[in-house]
Structure 1
Amino acid sequence: MRPDDWYCTQDLTGFLAHAGGFLRSRPDLHTVALTVTETLRTSGLRAYGDEPPVFGVLELGGQVRAAYFRTPPFRLNVTPLGPDEADSLAAHLIALGHSVPGVIAARDTAEAFAAAWRRHAGGRSLVSQRQRLYRLGNLTLPNPLPPGRARVAGKEDRERLIRWYGEFIDAVGDHAARDAAAWADARIARGGITFWESGDGAPVAMAGVTRVVAGQVRVAPVYTPPHLRGRGYAGAATAAVSRSALTSGVREVLLFTDLANPTSNSLYQRIGYRAVSDFAAYDFRDDRGF
């Protein structure tokens, strides 16, 4: 496998024309690539920052075998690869002069690419998060449901959404993929966030859902303010958006969990989510620690 078996582009339309069929062939394993490229297609290439995104494809024998994208300054996201493919990708990116701050991918792929990056670029790689991808099977509503009801967030909820999105990003220890205000506006415009309201009508948790693409959606984010946790609100909100997605006719409802949080993993399994694959995120550091 050679580094020049890969090609790199900043042309989203061309990338999707070339790799779209491949991405849609496994909408579960490729869910992030599908939803991010759909956001870029509908909201513009600056949806995730000022620096243009980069896309790449591995093609062998006239068939697309793998794809990657990166929306700077965030980690590289890559579809499943074998060790040789991971090695050739690392060499390809280095030959192009690309700086890669980390990678997120299916666990074996992330491990293989992190090892390849160390061989080619030096430095260290550190695991920053281990995740599990789940797919909804038979939805089971929490029993009992907490008092209250589900409600789709509207324009009147904008400030709360901005605040809760920031709190969610802080809680998961990551960087915001989008400006909080832009994120809130986009979600409100398409009804992409559902609150669980307590009996007195106060929002106590939220669950979001991505755009429908390739017959799949992903539940994200799910957030309950710290002082309201442990009362079943997140489970109720997640069940509500999951049921709404199913009734809309999508084929797959997906979500990621942090494997370091056994509470959320147990919760999602109780309401009908089943494991698909484990993922890992690595951050890269040079010899000076940067």
Structure 2
Amino acid sequence: MQYQGVLTKMQTEIGSPIQYYLVFENDFLNVNQLLDKKMSINFVGYQCLNCKKEKKIYRQGFCYDCFFEIPQAADWVMKPELSKAHLGIEERDLEYEQRVQLKPHIVYLANSSNVKVGVTRKTQVPTRWIDQGAHEAIEIVEVPNRYLAGITEVALKDYVGDKTNWRTMLKNEVQDENLVEWRDKLKQYIPEEAQQYFIENNTETNLEFPVLQYPKKLKTLNLTKTPDFEGVLKGIKGQYFIFEDNTVFNVRSNEGFVVTINV
């Protein structure tokens, strides 16, 4: 069968294992069903996720112009501590910024390659952890806005990592950690403004990914350099396809690419 559409990050459903879905305008594909099967990915072109024009993708699925104009790509998205909607200050679109920033946010610990701290909207738990390929995670703080989550993350980054080593994550070279102990150890470093929002009595969440075979030596598929690829799918972790020949493909980093997938 052939599927065609604009790549966006895979939708997920919690389960044992996690279920992954590619959603196109006219097609819907449960990727788990492709495990151990040969599939091809063919690059067709570009379509900006915002303006829908056939323009080269710059970052995050957006063309150059949209990336520097729309609120979905503003600096506070990647750096929550820069959020200003709680002060009524607009960066690009105050209505949008208030709608997103003035919602409950979670500061969490996730273990995908090592223990790291991160921020997400409460509604994105556990989706955010799945997207990062974390096999275990725990909430530390639940705050009423993105700014408080951001300054908490910044404070904790002095004592725990904030980046995922994607190579280690994909090779599954990871160790289990006691995230409850990590949570309690880091409590003292939470800023005073966020101390009252510390979560004391929770347990870590464990996640199971649909992987039949982990790669040993990674090869990254770049569709602009290799527009036609074929391989046997052996796993899905984070937002990556893992193929039998050790090729890995990051769906999220290719958002806005128009592709055909043949199974």
Name the TM tier (shorter chain): under 0.3
Q: TM-score, normalised by structure 2?
A: 0.25
Q: TM-score, normalised by structure 1?
A: 0.24
Query: Which of 1 and 2 has higher RCO (CA within 8 Å, sep 6+)?
Result: 2
In terms of fraction of residues, the more helix-rich structure is 1
